[in-house]
Amino acid sequence: MPCIAVRRAALFFLLCLYYNAIQLFRGMTADELAALRAAHCIRVQRYDKNALIYHAGRVVHEIGIVQSGSVNVESNDLWGNKSILSHVEVGQAFAETYALCGEPLMVDVAAAEPCEILWLDLVPMLQQQNTAASWYPKFLHNLLLLSMQKNLALSQRIRCTTPKSARGRLLTYLSAQAVRAGSTHFSIPFDRQQLADYLNLDRSALSKELGKMRDDGLIRCRKNEFELCGTE
């Protein structure tokens, strides 16, 4: 029995470390995380690649947090045109603004690869009786920081799609990725079609321009691995 108790304590400790690595739970104590779990605010669900997780027009009350894999936030029109607005990776969240405001989704969320999503239900979390809980102000603080980071990510995409030429968009995006990686050799989270969707370019135009940039000695690339050349 003591061994079982020790194993349970160790498992709970590891769960606490994991949750504190997620921005929305950052700074919360083990007791506070246990209170959240006991309140049935958290559930986990798995999705296959390309599965539609959230559909535009739906009213939601849960924030999604990627536990494994990744998802894309997409804008799809009635004619089948798609733009990737953001790529959400492990530890990052999505749909928080819609879950808070109660407005119908204007975007789709799809699994970019097999993934596992931790769902955080705001209905029980934001009830009046929880406002005095010690975890409540921490959660609101973390949620505000998350919202600010999302605004920065949206601004970055706008900056990448502002240039009129395909080369201008690629140079802006790849330069930003190099700065983020701290190196001129880096990998990106998109395949060619996804990169074209993110930059609002036709895939053939994207591939053609990448070939020209490689021939001009600006880049080396293989699949999603890139190296910027002649930058010194």
Domains of the chain: 2-159 (2.60.120.10), 162-228 (1.10.10.10)
3-state secondary structure of 82: strand
Tokens read off for 219: 């880049």
Q: What pLDDT, in 10s, does the model give residues 105-132?
A: 999 999 999 999 999 999 988 888 888 8
The answer on pLDDT for 100 being more than 60 is yes
Beta-bridged to residue 220, according to DSSP, are 227
Q: What pLDDT, in 10s, does the model give residues 196-229?
A: 999 999 999 999 999 999 999 999 999 899 999 9
Q: Mean pLDDT over residues 35-39, rounded? A: 80
The answer on pLDDT for 7 being more than 80 is no
Q: What pLDDT does residue 126 have?
A: 87
Q: Residues of the chain with pLDDT > 70: what percent?
A: 90
Distance of CA 208 to the CA centre of its chain: 29
Q: Do 166 and 206 touch, CB atoms closer than 8 A? A: yes
Q: Do 178 and 228 touch, CB atoms closer than 8 A? A: yes
Longest dimension (CA), the chain: 69
What stretches of 84-202 show up as alpha helix (H) in DSSP? 96-101, 122-125, 135-161, 166-181, 192-198
- How far apart CA 108 and CA 169 sit, in angstroms, is 24
Q: Mean pLDDT over residues 47-74, rounded? A: 94
Q: Do 48 and 111 touch, CB atoms closer than 8 A? A: yes
Q: What pLDDT does residue 206 have?
A: 95
Q: Do 181 and 224 touch, CB atoms closer than 8 A? A: no
Q: Mean pLDDT over residues 133-158, rounded? A: 88
